[in-house]
Amino acid sequence: MNERKIEFAIVALAIFVRIAAVFTLRSYEIPRSAYEHGEIASNLLTGRGFSIEFLGAFGPTSQQAPVYPLIVAAAYAIGGIGTPRSHLILELAQSGLGGVLAFAVIRLAREIAPERKAFALLAGLIVAVHPTLVYAVTHVQVAGLNAVLLASTLAAGYAAARTRRTRDAIGAGALLALLALADPILALSSVSLAWILVRSLPLKTSVRLLGIEMLVFAIGLAPWTIRNALVHGEFVAVKSTFGYAFWQGNCRLSEGTDKVVRRRTENAVQEAARAGFDLAEVNRSLWKARHIAGYLDDIALSREDKKELGKLSEPERSRVLFRRAVVDLKSEPWRYPRLCLRRLRYFFLFDETNPKSRSVIYRAGHLALTIAAVLGLMFAPRSLRRSLAPTFLAAALIALFHALTIVSARFHIPIEPLMAIWAAAPIGRERSNLI
């Protein structure tokens, strides 16, 4: 079969299975499923701007990066604020984005090893059907978009190194800016972009291209950063909440995540297990468990805490909570290393505080991809592993950040397309019999 036809079929398959998941699981009917993104989107459409109720005060916020709330607001503008119809519109749009993800992964694999034809197609096929990537589109969350942008950014970085063209470097810088405006943590992949250039090009050429990428990146961030300076009165590049996230992951009541471990959650998880093959009922039970679990803020911050925090600027609220977490950690010196190791385990295996990642369906898919990625790298040619090294670095930096601060199952989703590429690494030669 023609290679382009196979690629088109993979993209179509990715979209089809995601649409099927949307209508099977019916998450768009779940109330209170949009969280902060939905609240910001609602405020945007009702004339209150990019704002939210956060830590005791309502006002303009940088609690979330701007890209995804704007997308949610677009869905709300079409289907109504917070309605099942608008969430359905959003989930169907995200299903289409799943096809873009499959295409982006195929493109990235081709940039890494253009002579290995079947390698790229298999990587795209894995991404098309991998359960957690499919499941992600049924949520109002930015993780699926982040996966697309991370794969696309790295693909553009490899392309700039291959062609040495200014326009390709501009493209990589623009995608990096968009990635940071979706999730600034993923901008750590800029280190990988630099490595892609430096390792394969003369120093002068690599410095020129990297300078272009970083200049475009800075220009892309500038409007949002300027907006933040105007509303907060200080420099905030993208988000104001590092200290808040660190407190959630490390205060004395934390298990290393932002969630609370409650006995009542276990009952809802067991309901999901009893639902068997009724996937919609399993999904409803897991959502119920997630709502019962709640956030750490529910138990760790009193009304008086929120009242006092609400008197401060948003960035200062975050700094105060960071200092509280540091005091808690100093009182138990070995607790922080233990939390970091626990988060690393949660990141690469299962977040025990998240009811959804305790599902057998989730764990089977997650383990299958993890094992396939490890085996793929073990049996991949050494030359291909060298070519893949910048993707290892991107994944390692993202994992390290979350191990040191806070972790959640959704933070793992952006690196799963990279793992699909690793899993496909042993497959294909210069001309495969499959195509």
- Structure confidence at residue 290 (pLDDT): 78
pLDDT above 60: residue 207: yes
276 domain residue, yes or no: no
Q: Quote the domain boundaries for residue 168.
A: 3-260+295-424
- Is 154's pLDDT higher than 50? yes
Residue 281, in any domain of the structure: no
pLDDT at 270: 66
Name the domain count of the chain.
1
Separation CA 8–CA 104 (nearest Å)? 12
**DSSP helix/strand/coil, 59:** strand
Assigned domain for 8 exists: yes
Which tokens sit at 134? 């499919």
Whether 90 is covered by a domain: the verdict is yes
Q: What is the pLDDT of residues 350-390, one digit of tens each?
A: 888 888 887 788 889 999 999 999 999 999 999 999 999 99
- Residue 393 · residue 345 · CB < 8 Å: no
pLDDT of residue 434: 35
Q: Is residue 272 part of a domain?
A: no
State how far the Cα of 432 lies from the Cα of 116, in Å rounded to an integer. 8
Domain assignment present for residue 290? The answer is no
Q: What pLDDT, in 10s, does the model give residues 208-266?
A: 999 999 999 999 999 999 999 999 999 999 999 999 999 999 999 999 998 887 666 66
- pLDDT, averaged across the chain: 92
For residues 46 and 90, give the distance between their C-alpha atoms in angstroms, rounded to a whole number: 19
Write down the pLDDT at residue 276: 61
Task: Please check whether residue 365 lies inside any domain of the structure.
Answer: yes
Predicted confidence band at 428 (pLDDT cuts at 50, 70, 90)? Answer: low
pLDDT bucket at 433, cuts 50 / 70 / 90: very low
What's the pLDDT tens digit per position in 253-280? 999 998 887 666 666 666 656 666 677 8
pTM of the model: 0.94
pLDDT band at 432 (very low <50, low <70, confident <90, very high): very low
Residue 274 counted as domain residue: no
Residue 430 has pLDDT above 60, yes or no: no
Helical pair 143-163 and 84-112, crossing angle rounded to 10 deg: 30
H or E element in which residue 162 lies: helix 143-163
